[in-house]
Amino acid sequence: MKTRYKKIAIVGAGAIGGWIGNKLAKNGAEVSVLARNETLANINASGLKLFEDNAESIVRVKASDKPEELGIQDLVIIALKAPSLPSLAKQIKPLIGKETVILTAMNGIPWWFLHNFGNALKNQTLSSIDPDGALQAAIPADQVIGCVVHASCSADAPGTIRHHFGNKLIIGEPSGGNTNRLLELEQLLSSAGYETNVSPQIQKDIWYKLWGNMTVNPISAITNATTDQIMGDDLVRDFASHIMLEAKLIGSKIGIDIDQSPEDRHVITRKMGAFKTSMLQDVQAKKQVEIDALIGAVHELGQKVNVETPFINALFGLSRLHAKNLGIY
């Protein structure tokens, strides 16, 4: 397939980044990985491994902890957890040329969320995500394409990924509409085996996914509960519903209308069963948690559009304090 995306670098070869990198390499792309420590050692020694559909796939990719060794890429896929990105933002600049497209496959609200979007908040920055503007300075928003991942993967070991369920990627331009680079990216991802949808406004897809996991993720982290336990407790589920109603109102102020009720979304969450959220997994592994991207940014947006958020405030404060006391925030 003829494509502008010949050289592709994965920044963050964890569960999602490793899954995407393996499948793109298997499809013939020239994939490299920016990695460190044990992940770097394992990939160089044994390749990037993926267990999917009861089969093991191993691809050999170029891996380095020095971005200048990888050079300028056609496509850079950032699949880091949000707390890890600020420290890497300046370091990844050697990967980015004037024509490089940057695909952000991350949870929560990204730093570019209000780029050419948000009604009265259009082009404002979010201090909860990018307090000193380092991300905006290092990673040009005009070169970004957003991605919402609907899949569950885990890392059996550094550089060894296991896919559990879900195969959907939603991609879109922050400024909205279709572009040649977006449609070529859809072709690339589809040819690698993904169910790839092009969104006319990617911020809406980001917000809709966030509308569900901004509650169950922090609540699970605080309580050590799986999603079925959260949904099964009437008081906790009601707390989550009130948070979602506040977020729904915030969304309407910035141009995102949700035509569902919280209970409609709870039906979807219940179908996941005894699911352990990514934030609970991070707490148990003593890793930094994505509190600012999942709920801190929503709290900030509420302040900016003058929506009172007592329930969001409570969850943000409790989850932040919990993580601070564990040394993971």
Tell me the average confidence (pLDDT) per consecutive run of 10 residues in the chain, 329 residues long: 89 95 97 96 97 95 96 97 87 94 96 96 95 90 97 94 96 95 97 97 97 96 97 98 98 97 96 92 94 97 98 98 97
Other beta carbons less than 10 A from residue 133's beta carbon: 11
Cα angle: 188, vertex 191, 196; to 5 degrees: 75
Residue 91's pLDDT is 87
Sign, CA torsion 116/117/122/125: negative
Cα angle: 212, vertex 217, 223; to 5 degrees: 130
Domain ranges across the chain: 7-200, 205-326
Could you tell me the CATH superfamily of domain 205-326? N-(1-d-carboxylethyl)-l-norvaline Dehydrogenase; domain 2 (1.10.1040.10)
Query: What amino acid positions are annotated as catalytic residues?
Result: 209
How far CA 16 is from CA of 125, 172, 223, in Å, comes to 27, 18, 25
What is the CATH number that goes with domain 7-200? 3.40.50.720
DSSP lists the bridge partners of residue 104 as: 78, 146
Two domains, one topology: 7-200 and 205-326: no
How far CA 200 is from CA of 99, 123, 175, 203, in Å, comes to 22, 18, 9, 9
3-state secondary structure of 11: strand
Distance CA 279, CA 141 (A): 27
DSSP secondary-structure letter at 175? T
Closest C-alpha to 17, from 147, 91, 108, 105: 105
144 and 176 Cβ atoms separated by less than 8 Å: no
Other beta carbons less than 10 A from residue 314's beta carbon: 13
Other beta carbons less than 10 A from residue 2's beta carbon: 6
Distance CA 5, CA 7 (A): 6
DSSP assignment string, 84-139: GHHHHHTTTGGGEEEEEEEEEE-SS--TTTTTT-SGGGTT---TTT-TTSHHHHHS
Residue 89's pLDDT is 85
